[in-house]
Amino acid sequence: MAESPANVIDVDIVSDVMCPWCIVGFRQLEQALGATGMGARVRWHPFELNPAMPPEGQNLAEHIAEKYGSSPEQSAQNRAHLQALGQSLGIDFVFSPDSRIVNSFDAHQLLDFALAQGLQHPLKMALFHAHFTEGRDVSDRAVLLDVAEGVGLDRADAEEVLTSGALADTVREKQAFWTSRGISGVPSMVFGGKYLVTGAQGAENYAQILRKLAEEEAA
C-alpha cells in the first residue's frame, strides 16, 4: 500500500559502522514501522566511537577489555547476547578471536558521498554486513570501494573522494554538530526533528514515539 506523506516521519540516526547496537536499533525501528504502518525517511549521520583508532585497528576482545574493563567471560557473554538478539532481528553477527575494531573515518566520508548519490542507506547496510557478518576490514580502501561499487556507486568517483579527502572537513563538521548537541553515544535517533532517543530502545518504544508524532501531526 502506498504511503501518504502524512505517515512518513524523518528519522535522523547518529551512528558508527563499528557499533553493533546501531544496526540492532535500526532493525528495531524497522519492526516499529511495520507495526505502526508508518514510513520513515532515514538519514545517517557520522559518529566515531574510536576517533583515535590507528589504521591497523585493534583486536575486539582487547579493545573491549581496555575501554570498558570487561573480563573475557563478560565479553563473551555480551557477544553471545548480541548474536542471539541479532538472530531475532535478521542480523548475523559473526565474532571470532580475530575480530577487530577499525578506524571508520573513511567509511563516514564514503557515506557522505553516497548521500548525495541517493545511496547512503544501502551503503550503510552493506558496510554493517561487511564488518559484522563477513568480517571484512572496512578501513581498507579497497574493501570500501568494493562495497561502494556493490551498491551502485561509481568506483572511480568513490576512490577520488577518499584519495582527495574532499569530504573530510564536511564529515568533521557534521560530527561536531552532533557532539555539540550532547550526543556522546550511539545509536542516537532524532524522530521528526523533535524527540531524541539514545541506545537501541526496542521496537515498542520506537512505535510509541512514531504514534505520538503521527497524533501530533494530525492534531
Domain ranges of the chain: 5-209
pLDDT tens sequence across 122-153: 999 999 999 999 999 999 999 999 999 999 99
Strand partners, 59: 100
Task: Please give the residue that has the higher pLDDT: either 39 or 5.
Answer: 39
Cell of 104: 571508520
**Contacts of 144 by beta carbon, 8 Å cutoff, 6+ apart:** 106, 107, 110, 138, 158, 162
Given this model, what pLDDT does residue 70 score? 87
Q: Is the pLDDT of residue 6 over 90?
A: no
Q: Is the pLDDT of residue 1 over 70?
A: no
Tell me whether residue 203 is exposed, middle or buried, using C-beta atoms within 10 angstroms of its C-beta: 0 to 12, 13 to 18, 19 or more: buried
d(CA 49, CA 184): 9
Task: Please give the residue that has the higher pLDDT: either 7 or 107.
Answer: 107
Given this model, what pLDDT does residue 2 score? 44
Q: What are the φ and ψ backbone dihedral angles of 14, each rounded to 5 degrees?
A: -85, 125
Q: Is the pLDDT of residue 199 over 70?
A: yes
Which residue in 65, 58, 142, 67 sits closest to 103, CA to CA?
58
What average pLDDT score do residues 35-59 get?
95
CATH of domain 5-209: 3.40.30.10
Average pLDDT, the chain: 94
- The bridge status of strand 8-15 relative to strand 39-46 is parallel
Given this model, what pLDDT does residue 56 score? 86
d(CA 196, CA 177): 15
What average pLDDT score do residues 16-39 get?
97
Which residue in 101, 37, 45 sits closest to 75, CA to CA?
101
pLDDT class for 5, splitting at 50, 70, 90?
very low
- Given a contact cutoff of 8 angstroms between Cβ atoms, the answer to whether 41 and 8 are in contact is yes
pLDDT tens sequence across 58-108: 999 999 999 889 888 998 899 999 999 999 999 999 999 999 999 999 999
